[in-house]
Amino acid sequence: MAQVPDHKQKLREICRVAARVFYEKGYEGASMQDVAQAVGLTKAGLYHHVGSKDRLLFEIMNYGMDILDETVLQKVKDIADPREKLRQTIIGHINLVVRARDLEITVILHENRSLTGPLRKQINARKRAYIKNLENLIAQVQAQAGGKPAISPHLAAFVALGMINWLYQWYNPEGPIKLEELTQAYVDFFFRGMQV
Amino acid sequence: MAQVPDHKQKLREICRVAARVFYEKGYEGASMQDVAQAVGLTKAGLYHHVGSKDRLLFEIMNYGMDILDETVLQKVKDIADPREKLRQTIIGHINLVVRARDLEITVILHENRSLTGPLRKQINARKRAYIKNLENLIAQVQAQAGGKPAISPHLAAFVALGMINWLYQWYNPEGPIKLEELTQAYVDFFFRGMQV
């Protein structure tokens, strides 16, 4: 992972704590005072770091996308075989979603109704780039498999995102289904569904 | 559909409007005054109908589960063949999720962090019953197909719920992908993934 500069580390720390506050009280229900208190800053200090409540929400979502890039895309970037790359992308994304550490951030990332205007557009552009990357990978796997694709890369990408992102609703890594079992079952299901 | 009594009709109307207010302002960000105004009741009148804000959120979620039962389960209850019954269950659930009319209610149904205690337990019990029903149906389809099941009914049920419930995040029935095309692709993908 690339070295993260100090001021970015501080911002990330604020984002993690703020995400927990927003997750618990709701974005609209939580005040900047609540966040400042949880982070251990004065309200003025918090505003100095993040500018505004809108901007803070944006930074949390942006951080969520950074985590996705760093823990999923970076890890697979040197894999040449499309099939193995897709497999590892799915596994990486599952690991991220079920990892308790960033639960609040990944949940908030998908509740993007509160973000508006240009900030929302920026986050949506990053989400679209992630999806586009997944679609390209799926298309490569289908091309390698040959024959007529069973599903469009676009729909297949959203099937994958739905299966995986929904995990936070029900899956508990401490429960009866081991993470390895879940991951294997999901990858196998997805490749069978793709017919590749 | 069964006849719905008058007082329940009124409660449902309140739930629909309140769901829109909560969706826009967030549950914690919206006041009972906001809801009363949107419904066209006094605050006292609103409290008379729903008891409390907690209770109102519970009623919205309960209504969401009613809609799921009425528009999905009731429609397939007379289908004898498990395969066709599962197919129609998936189609019914997709139709419900992408239907703009109840968008706010279905979204709120899955953001159940704000509900606590016994009310949350009641909603979770209804959700579990829905999932259990889906699992049983999947097990019947697998038994009919014979051989070793490719995935446990439990995991397959959550794959289906993830694929379908995630649609609200991205799918627009007015967009380039027709609903029929989407439904067919999703059903086919799911049955291939199940290997049945």
**What whole-number distance in Å separates Cα of residue A25 and Cα of residue A46?**
18
**pLDDT surpasses 90 at A103:** no
> A153-184 burial by CB neighbour count: b if 16+ within 10 A, else e?
bbbbbbbbbbbbbbbeeebeeeeeeebeebbe
Residue B1 has pLDDT above 80, yes or no: no
In this complex, is the C-beta atom of A30 within 8 Å of any C-beta atom belonging to chain B?
yes
**pLDDT at B3 exceeding the cut of 70:** no
**pLDDT band of B33, cuts 50, 70, 90:** very high
Q: Which two tokens stand for residue A100?
A: 């308790």
Query: Is A155 an interface residue toward B (CB < 8 Å)?
Result: yes
> Using the beta-carbon criterion (under 8 Å), do A163 and B165 form an inter-chain contact?
no
Whether A167 and chain B come into contact, CB under 8 Å, resolves to yes
Give per-residue pLDDT as tens, B114-157.
Answer: 788 999 999 999 999 999 999 999 999 999 999 999 999 999 99
Question: What's the predicted TM-score (pTM) here?
Answer: 0.92
Helical H runs in B31-80? 32-39, 43-50, 53-68, 74-76
Q: How far apart are CA A26 and CA A12, in angstroms?
A: 19
CB contact under 8 A, A27 and B30: no
Measured in angstroms, the CA of B150 and the nearest CA of chain A are apart by 8
**Between chains, do B28 and A23 touch, taking CB under 8 Å as contact?**
no
Residue A2: per-residue pLDDT: 58
Does B25 touch chain A if contact means CB atoms closer than 8 Å? yes
Q: Report the residue from A23, A26, A166 with minimal CB separation from B29.
A: A26
Confidence (pLDDT) at A113 = 73
Q: By the CB < 8 Å criterion, does A177 face chain B? A: yes
Q: Which residues are CB-contacts of B44 (< 8 A; sequence separation ≥ 6)?
A: none
What whole-number distance in Å separates Cα of residue B191 and Cα of residue B175? 25
Task: Answer yes or no: do A163 and B167 touch at CB < 8 A.
Answer: no
Confidence of residue B2 (pLDDT cuts 50, 70, 90): low
Chain A hits for B177, CB-CB cut-off 8 Å, are: 154-155
Contacts of B161 in chain A (CB under 8 A): 166, 169
DSSP track, B18-41? HHHHHHHH-TTT--HHHHHHHHT-
pLDDT-based confidence at residue A192 (cuts at 50, 70, 90): very high
In 10 A of CB A189, how many CB atoms? 23
**pLDDT over 60 (residue A153):** yes
Q: What digits encode the pLDDT tens for the residues B73-113?
A: 999 999 999 999 999 999 999 999 998 777 788 778 877 77
User: What pLDDT shows up at residue B149?
Assistant: 97
**Half-sphere exposure in the Cβ direction for A3 (13 Å, CA):** 2
Nearest Cα residue in chain B from A116: B24
CA distance B182 to chain A (A): 8
